[in-house]
């Protein structure tokens, strides 16, 4: 028993030491777990605060977005109401303008036609050379004013989309011939040679507005005469078949006049525009709307002009 006892005491001592180490490890682990718990709780609190702040910011953003959206809707509604009111005013002004143009045209044409009739009678009476020359000037002046009135009225109708073509069967050859006969005195006065060619394949009867076709030709050929000093003007008509019910008619007018500069080609069909080299030729003899009206009339026939 005395020999075994030292070993028991050593074992007991080791056990105590092991227990102390285990207790120390437990305390260390407990401290570590406490620190992790505290850190986790702190992290959770921080996360909760962040989530709450994010939620508050999100709610505030949604509130602000809603306010902006509703304000935008209200502004859009107000703008739509203003646009609707502006449209109504514009349509009313367009109607007033159209009525004004029609009334003005009527009020100017009526006395001019009466004056023209009296001047025609006066011109046919027994006048001396000077008086006859004066009546001719009056007749030309009256016709010039009537042409300007007609141009303004046509331009107003075309811009408003109110001018409709009177589409009926007509003879293109006859229409061209009538136009050239009306312009014949101008050809003779300037001693300009007229050349014309109409393709034999052009149909005898076409569907369209003969009056407006004549107006287009009158404007284009009239311009050619106006800006040609000497030489010739040629009018040619060619034909291109499209199908059984439609064809393409190409009307070309060529002259030996002053010509048009390349930089003016895009501008000559604008209203009230006159090419630089044409200004000295006809400062008071045109409304400045002839080519613009011609272009709109051509396009009304589904055509193009250049």
Query: What confidence score (pLDDT) does residue 172 get?
Result: 92
pLDDT digit string (tens) for 171-223? 999 999 988 888 888 888 889 999 999 998 889 899 988 888 988 998 899 88
Query: Which residues contact residue 269 at a Cβ distance below 8 angstroms, ignoring those fewer than 6 apart?
Result: 291, 292, 294, 295, 305
Residue 255 has what pLDDT?
A: 93
**Percent residues over pLDDT 70 in the chain:** 90
Q: Give the range with max mean pLDDT: 1-5, 42-46, 199-203.
A: 199-203
Q: DSSP letters along 57-102, please?
A: HHHHHHHHHHHHHHHHHHHHHHHHHHHHHHHHHHHHHHHHHHHHHH
Mean pLDDT of 257-281: 75
* Residue 250, pLDDT score: 93
Report the pLDDT value the prediction gives residue 231, as an integer from 0 to 100: 92
Q: What is the arithmetic mean of pLDDT over 287-294?
A: 80
Global pTM reads 0.59
278 pLDDT tier (thresholds 50, 70, 90): low
**95 vs 53, higher pLDDT:** 53
Nearest to 219 by CA among 183, 250, 188, 195: 183
Q: Which residue has the higher pLDDT, 122 or 144?
A: 122
């Amino acid at each position: 028993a005395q020999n075994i006892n030292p070993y028991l005491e050593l074992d007991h001592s080791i056990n105590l030491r092991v227990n102390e180490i285990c207790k120390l490890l437990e305390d260390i682990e407990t401290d570590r777990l406490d620190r992790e718990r505290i850190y986790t709780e702190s992290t959770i609190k921080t996360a909760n605060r962040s989530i709450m702040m994010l939620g508050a910011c999100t709610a505030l953003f949604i509130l602000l977005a809603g306010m902006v959206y509703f304000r935008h809707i209200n502004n859009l509604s107000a703008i739509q109401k203003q646009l609707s009111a502006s449209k109504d005013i514009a349509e009313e002004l367009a109607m007033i303008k159209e009525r004004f143009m029609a009334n003005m045209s009527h009020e100017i044409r009526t006395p001019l036609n009466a004056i023209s009739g009296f001047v025609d009678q006066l011109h046919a009476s027994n006048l001396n050379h000077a008086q006859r020359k004066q009546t001719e000037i009056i007749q030309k002046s009256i016709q010039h004013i009537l042409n300007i009135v007609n141009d303004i009225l046509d331009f107003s109708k075309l811009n408003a989309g109110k001018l409709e073509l009177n589409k009926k069967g007509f003879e293109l050859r006859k229409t061209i011939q009538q136009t050239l006969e009306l312009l014949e005195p101008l050809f003779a006065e300037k001693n300009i040679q007229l050349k014309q060619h109409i393709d034999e394949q052009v149909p005898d009867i076409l569907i369209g507005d003969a009056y407006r076709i004549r107006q287009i030709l009158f404007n284009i050929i009239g311009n050619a005469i106006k800006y040609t000093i000497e030489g010739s003007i040629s009018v040619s008509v060619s034909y291109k078949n499209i199908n059984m019910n439609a064809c393409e008619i190409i009307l070309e007018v060529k002259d030996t006049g002053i010509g048009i500069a390349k930089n003016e080609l895009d501008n000559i069909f604008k209203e009230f525009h006159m090419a630089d080299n044409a200004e000295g030729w006809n400062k008071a003899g045109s409304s400045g709307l002839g080519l613009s009206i011609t272009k709109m009339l051509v396009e009304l026939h589904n055509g193009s002009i250049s």
